[in-house]
Amino acid sequence: MLCWPPIVVPTGRELTDSFCRADPAIAAVFARTTFLPDNRADLTGVNLPTLVVECAHDVIAPREVGAYVHAHIHGSQLSRHPGPGATVAAVRRRGPRMWLPCRPRGADAAA
């Protein structure tokens, strides 16, 4: 699960450019690491306010993914948007309050 503050998240153009410049072997490792793990079982352990944001034309995650994530995170909100611009605008409207530090389950007990 990624929890990045807005200042850290690259723009779409920067991300696209970095993928195009990447060494193919390194890009393959990144793709396997990013897209193959199955973390569905972790969703029920999320106990922070969660906004699931999805774009109607997302080429990576179809609408069923957002619906699944929303259904498996107790108390989450699902926000659907018609396109990337509307999705970005919705995230910006939420402001900094939507960015919380991530801690693994049980981190408080270990401290």
Predicted TM-score of the model (pTM): 0.58
The structural domains of the chain, with segments of one domain joined by +, span 12-99
Element holding 77 (H helix, E strand)? strand 77-81
pLDDT tens track for 21-70: 878 888 888 878 888 889 899 999 999 888 888 888 777 788 899 999 99
Q: What is the CB-side half-sphere exposure of residue 24 using CA atoms within 13 A?
A: 0
Q: Kind and range of the H or E element at 53?
A: strand 51-55
